Structure 1
């Protein structure tokens, strides 16, 4: 697979350091990940070595401050990592992005003591994190959460089940959001986030089962049975769990899923262009037909739009600018545009698109995994509408999530290579 340089349409967002990181990730993905893709697909089990390879590059610490051994490289760099990995393997990109979301929770809501104790291990990849919010029956409806923690005078006692937990089988440390107030309490005050060790008594991962896509990545269930948690392991304040979950999802989850979708989108376009250029038809190739060129042109335009919006949003986030709407739109449109391209790619491959010997089949399956996490398309569009209406009603306007933590852990704009 060729390794193109960053397109000039991204020049305004990328420093020389970003371009060097782009090339380094492409090289890593080609040498280390591409040879493992087929085995990950056929084995349908959790590939634990992949996480160790990513940890060896210290990429789990891409947004961790340098004082704790991190790269302090910011959201554009994080997007590059996930985007370029997803171009080769959606599952590998998912392993990285899923552990970066709880890093946000620890960064923004952890105490100085929690930072000192945990961030160095997070940065070097020796402690892998997950975030457990979604539940089997409630899905992403945080207000309907039934997992609960009760204070017994000495510790919090946690009981419940979480579902679709990214890296559920390989994470060492879980950020678990649970109900700590009686039913009827406002959701914004009813929940609390906890740091729970994966090997703690009462913590059990349901055996891994392969899903439709992202094979090699685990996003399964974890049960918590009377797990005792020290008050020192509360993340943020008691009753602040909703904010911890929301900010992590909005400021990391949305751009992470946008980057994952973008990498798959780009791969689908490349695979289809290669396929129709080699496929014989009449006295030439399939790509010679005007109807095929029209379809390819649509795919190319969609990719261009998705790529610019994705990097524009995270560039604003790195600069501490209000960009809630940009993050919403990038996530919602990124998936929609990729999905349309994926369907076109499958149709242009015709019956071969259903054959596991053709990589477009894997890419299309992986695309289905980017819709629901961090909010479905309907959720993103509803939030966009609410923000638009609040702009008309100045009295109802609220502080943008994207500026809630502005100035904290903002990366410097540097020109030297980072994390290469």
Structure 2
């Protein structure tokens, strides 16, 4: 599948996640789809199983299983429910922010409870006025009483109404490369509040990605993540190193569900006295869907494996997000064509797969953003590669059997 080996550890994890997804998550999908209800207890159960801390070093209580294992985990959850795959990845993303830029005191304070499932972090960067353009954000933090006072409204926050630790990037200077800073803000601090109840969305129903408001929130100096002015780097490094692969894994899980449900439908549905799957026009679509999925899988797992081995791989991670979204939505369209009118009804899984596949366009950068970054990387005009700045082969890069 990729440069490294699938180990007994990976196979055991895959079996554990698949059993959880099929026995605990699958029975609730219909309710989530019908109501848009956020399944707080399922998200916290994922955390309590240690899966948010899958990449956290064992020295801090984490699994230390690496990025291949993380991708496998997200894919298996998203195969059954895109919303739960999205929930898992959203809280894994800020782990990289703390791990890469946190002081040793911050790592020891926050990584063990995240690994234990007592703390669920999320990343609060996007604003309504600026979208993916970090330089356009208006949320501000100013020094006050030995700390900072934060005022910001962050939108599209993954696990917005579930998380109890927010990794917030805000403006601390008017302009320049060091004008943004990052802060760790506990959800129970005075002035922290979701703006409104979660709003049901077109896709990923059951996943909370809403607005969090920080109104005159005092944050102590020790909660500054990295140095004053590091905010852009904190956000960008986490988005490249974790966000691209994470969202690619959600896409791949939904992609796999798309292929599986379409194959099953084509084999069961009869036309002209024989299975739909025997029609050459249908076989052409099925074959293309399988090819799309195999390509997407290889691109994603190769990038994750390179990251585990400490290789230069920023471009591969960007491409993994791009390819998995583009091929996932292409397969979703083909799946709808095979289902024809039957695919329009909400009792067919393909209808949900079609919606969930398209939800992966914007997070961690649209396809246009990925192409732009890839072009700049190839031209040598992009930023330094984060995979080299934080290159550190994980323990998971060495094949290990479960003892």
**Aligned equivalent of 1:189, options 178, 193, 210:** 178
Name 1:389's counterpart in structure 2. Answer: 379
The question of whether the paired residues in 2 share the 8 Å contact of 1:21 and 1:417 is answered with no
- Secondary structure class of the residue paired with 1:59: coil
Partners of 2:26 and 2:280 in 1: CA distance: 33
Residues 55-90 of structure 1: per-residue CA shift (max 9 Å, x gap): 232111101111121101110000000011110000
Offset at residue 29 of structure 1 (A): 1.3
Residues 220-251 of structure 1: per-residue CA shift (max 9 Å, x gap): 00111111111111000000000000001000
Partners of 1:366 and 1:314 in 2: CA distance: 22
Partners of 1:283 and 1:43 in 2: CA distance: 39
Name 1:402's counterpart in structure 2. Answer: 387
Partners of 1:178 and 1:56 in 2: CA distance: 30
Alignment of 1:52-67 (within 5 A): 52-67=44-59
Name 2:65's counterpart in structure 1. Answer: 73
Q: Which runs of 5 or more structure 1 residues have no equivalent in the other structure?
A: 1-8, 391-395
Name 1:104's counterpart in structure 2. Answer: 96
Alignment of 1:150-169 (within 5 A): 150-169=142-161
Offset at residue 13 of structure 1 (A): 4.1
The question of whether the paired residues in 1 share the 8 Å contact of 2:150 and 2:217 is answered with yes
The question of whether the paired residues in 1 share the 8 Å contact of 2:85 and 2:250 is answered with yes
Q: TM-score, normalised by structure 1?
A: 0.93
2:30 paired with 1:38: yes
Alignment of 1:201-350 (within 5 A): 201-206=190-195, 207-350=197-340
Q: How many residues align?
A: 402
The question of whether the paired residues in 1 share the 8 Å contact of 2:17 and 2:77 is answered with yes
Name 2:129's counterpart in structure 1. Answer: 137
The question of whether the paired residues in 2 share the 8 Å contact of 1:86 and 1:263 is answered with yes
The question of whether the paired residues in 1 share the 8 Å contact of 2:139 and 2:151 is answered with yes
- Secondary structure class of the residue paired with 1:370: coil
Partners of 2:395 and 2:229 in 1: CA distance: 27
Q: TM-score, normalised by structure 2?
A: 0.97
**Aligned equivalent of 2:81, options 86, 89, 110:** 89
The question of whether the paired residues in 2 share the 8 Å contact of 1:329 and 1:380 is answered with yes
Alignment of 1:19-34 (within 5 A): 19-34=11-26
- Secondary structure class of the residue paired with 2:16: helix
- Secondary structure class of the residue paired with 1:86: helix
Partners of 1:30 and 1:157 in 2: CA distance: 45
Partners of 1:252 and 1:191 in 2: CA distance: 20
Q: Which runs of 5 or more structure 2 residues have no equivalent in the other structure?
A: none
Name 1:3's counterpart in structure 2. Answer: none
**Aligned equivalent of 2:364, options 353, 374, 383:** 374
- Secondary structure class of the residue paired with 2:182: strand
Over the aligned positions, Cα root-mean-square deviation in angstroms equals: 1.5
Name 1:6's counterpart in structure 2. Answer: none
Residues 245-278 of structure 1: per-residue CA shift (max 9 Å, x gap): 0001000000000000000001101111110111
